[in-house]
Chains A and B, each alone.
Chain A
Amino acid sequence: MGLESPFVPYLATLKTAIQLTPDIKLLNVELEDPDIRANFDYKPGQFALLSAFGEGEAPFGIVSLSLQKDGLEFAVRRIGTVTRALQELEPGDTLGVRGPFGNCFPLEDYVRKNIIVIGGGIGMAPLRPVINRILERRNDYKELLIINGARTPQDLVFQPEFPAWMKAPGTKLELTVDRGDEDWKGRVALVPDVVKELAPSPDSAIAIICGPPIMIRFTLARLRDLGFKDNQIVTTLEAKMKCGLGKCARCNLGEKYVCQDGPVFTLEQISQFLEQP
């Protein structure tokens, strides 16, 4: 028959698994077939479906940058069956990868703009490649403000990269937690309040937000208060997904299929959906 079924994943090997927070692991995954590996091109914001064979398949943002020499990276938060099974894999174990799927953050359109990246909890996952791509092409963009929130200091996701982000020119990293601990000297505040306090200017700016729905809702309101227009606010939509191919209809929201048309949308686009998320 020759043609491959779009439901059959590529086989891949788990190279490393680093515990980033108590419930999030960074998985580094290498596709087995060298040809597929060499051509697996993707953009910040795109996702893949990972298979833990025997348990199932689930979507995850690809948090590395395309055609990096050292494999594909995923930040997986343990929450249910598939995520638990993925976290239990040992280096050398086989898993499946389908993708890349979905649209991406149109970073080329944001050149010469100020970028505000706002992430809560595991919502930082799709934002990590955005930050790292901007830092890789630092001169293409103006100021970069990163606001990263989590429940507790331990839950802040990409801590090993914080020093590099802080040191980068024209870049500010603002951390905040809902609840501190003895060692925490930073902010204890909710993300929307931090946005209000820092009051980034909407002039020639794009705000990219990802996090739990409640954080997104209140952050949007603060950004609008600051004068951000709906076409300056970009987010990713959460949806239940199965096929990733626009066929199973699980991620259907109004006229859109989040797996194909999304997951990245501007607030302006979302406000025009017949069915509101």
Chain B
Amino acid sequence: MNLFASKDDLIRWIGELLKEHIVIAPVQVQEQTLFQPISKAEEVVFDFNNTTLSPKGWFLPPTETLFSVQKDDGKVELVPTQVERDAVIFGLHPCDARGIALMDKPFLEEPSDTLYRERRNRTALIGLACRQAQPECFCTSMGSAPDDPSNVDILLTEVEDGYIVQVVTEKGKTLLPKGLAEYKGKVPAPPELKAVPTREVISAMRELFNDPYWEQVADRCLHCNICAYVCPTCYCFDMRDYADKGKVERVRSWESCQSPGFSLTAGGYDPRTTKGERLRQRFYHKLFYFPEQFQDVACVGCGRCVRDCPVNIDIREVISNLQQVTEAKSGS
């Protein structure tokens, strides 16, 4: 059953949620819209293009301490980071929710990442359907849709005078405010998106590995790693120790396969020394290795990398080009 909430109802509801939860929602920070913990409901932005960074950082922070090393009388103790409070991510788009569902696959697979799992278990997702798509969006080619409710606990859809509240999971039910009326109107149709030939290309990936295309497309890559940092499904991470004034911590932080030296071993050997090999790794992980391992493409079509790559390396174009390469090969 669908319920209805006016904008004022939503603001009151967020205020209620803030009493017991950390609420992470899109807020305006200078030029950017970012998911951040809020302190009052009025901060929330409802009408936004995809946020600069995806909400993955709540589960896999850009940097976080995994454990700290404490020394007491020469005796060493390792103190793991604990998750202190329940949280709600409010207003995430369906593509970002799917991004989280995809990150679950490696992180919840046994031996599961306890910190990730604990945050995941203690976080509810209240999604916001997209009434408008951006030019760079292609979620429908990547297993999601602007009105996809499958990876959230509650989905909100904006209508003329308020929001449709669709409760998806039991967890969602427990978060509902009292007194919302039933919504009897029509559910608006989602926007239409241009399609990308994902399926065709995935089935051809094995044959495309040694194609000269990779060096060509990667030639202009600056290995700035922006594509990986903005991406809701890129999850490579680094682990290092930091020692500061006697305080020792093991810290994990985002990394990217686009960094030169990412795969360089201490012995000096590196399987990926060229830009083409590294860019190919990004696309193969998304379009071939992840699907082989987990039966899903590791891209949700949010368009962030398309929007933010300083040299316009566009995954939609790469996929279309790969299809052309495949057709040219099978044609000749």
Contact = CB atoms under 8 A, between A and B. Distances in A.
Contact of A9 (B78, B255, B257, B285): B78
Interface stretch (B170-178, B233-241, B311-319): B233-241
A4 B115 CA distance: 10
A240 B239 contact: no
Contacts of A55: 241
| Majority DSSP secondary structure for residues of A touching B | loop
Among B82, B264, B269, B281, which residue has the most Cβ atoms of chain A within 10 A? Answer: B269
B48 interface: no
A58 B76 CA distance: 19
| Majority DSSP secondary structure for residues of B touching A | mixed
A5 B237 CA distance: 16
Given A56-B239, A246-B109, 17 more contacts: A1-B82, A5-B66, A6-B112, A8-B66, A51-B241, A51-B250, A53-B69, A57-B239, A96-B78, A238-B265, A239-B271, A240-B262, A242-B237, A242-B238, A249-B235, A249-B236, A275-B209
Query: How extensive is the interface on chain B, given as a class?
Result: 35 or more
A212 interface: yes
A111 interface: no
9 contacts: A57-B239, A213-B267, A238-B267, A240-B262, A240-B265, A252-B281, A252-B289, A255-B288, A274-B288
A107 interface: no
Interface in B243-263: 243, 248, 250, 252, 255, 257, 262-263
Interface string A1-31: 1011111110100000000000000000000
A248 B69 contact: no
Interface in A227-277: 238-240, 242-243, 245-250, 252-255, 274-277
B67 A80 contact: no
Contacts of A34: none
B294 to A, nearest CB: 11
Interface string B60-74: 000000110100000
B284 interface: yes
A198 interface: no
B118 interface: yes
B184 interface: no
A96 B80 CA distance: 14
Given A1-B114, A1-B118, A57-B250, A7 B239 contact: yes
A83 interface: yes
B308 interface: no
A109 B69 CA distance: 43
B265 A239 contact: yes
A94 interface: yes
A94 B42 CA distance: 51
B80 A8 contact: yes
B239 A249 contact: no
A54 B69 contact: yes
A79 interface: yes
A24 to B, nearest CB: 14
Contacts of B266: 58, 79-80, 83
Interface of B: 66-67, 69, 76, 78, 80, 82, 106-107, 109, 111-115, 118, 206, 209, 235-241, 243, 248, 250, 252, 255, 257, 262-267, 269, 271, 281, 284-285, 288-289, 292-293
Contact of B248 (A5, A54, A252, A277): A54
Interface in A52-104: 53-58, 79-80, 83, 94, 96
Given A11-B78, A275-B209, A6 B114 contact: yes
Nearest to A10: B78
B109 A249 contact: no
Given A1-B82, A8-B67, A8-B80, A243 B267 contact: no
A276 B239 CA distance: 26
Nearest to B74: A94
Contacts of B269: 213, 238
A243 B239 contact: yes
B42 to A, nearest CB: 35
B236 A248 contact: yes
B288 to A, nearest CB: 8
